[in-house]
Amino acid sequence: GNSVTQMEGPVTLSEEAFLTINCTYTATGYPSLFWYVQYPGEGLQLLLKATKADDKGSNKGFEATYRKETTSFHLEKGSVQVSDSAVYFCALSDASGGGADGLTFGKGTHLIIQP
């Protein structure tokens, strides 16, 4: 079956630090990959996505590249801000696999940015 593994944290960084949150996946077909962000007290919002190998998704200074050879989709940002403090979820969608699921999520990484 499909699965997503990501570092759980909490990850604590200082403002303007470089961020990497690792995400690896297992899928039976050819998945699309996503990063969602959850701010305190809110639902999930799509941050970025990539639908095929070597695609790079980007939004709000965050980037992630779909690496089929390493089955990874690591999230990066060059200079984080306090407002980036949130929980980040890596997820995949594998419609081609014939399974019933919509999205398969990782467990989430709690990111804390200190001023």
Partner 1 sequence: EAQVTQNPRYLITVTGKKLTVTCSQNMNHEYMSWYRQDPGLGLRQIYYSMNVEVTDKGDVPEGYKVSRKEKRNFPLILESPSPNQTSLYFCASSLSRVHQPQHFGDGTRLSIL
Q: How far is the CB of 91 from partner 1 (least distance, A)?
A: 8
Reference 58, options 32, 45, 80, 76; nearest CA is 76
Q: Should residue 2 be labelled a site residue for partner 1 when binding is judged by CB under 8 A?
A: no
Q: CB within 8 A of 66, min separation 6: which ones?
A: 33, 50, 51, 52, 53, 54, 55, 56, 57, 73
State which residue, 43 or 115, has the beta carbon closest to partner 1.
43
Place of tokens 């809110």: 42
> Are the C-beta atoms of residues 47 and 62 closer than 8 Å to each other?
yes
98 counts as binding partner 1 under rule CB under 8 A: no
106 binds partner 1 (CB under 8 A): yes
Q: Is 34 in the site for partner 1 (CB under 8 A)?
A: yes
Residues near partner 1 (CB under 8 A): 8, 32, 34, 36, 41-46, 49, 89, 93, 95, 100-103, 105-108
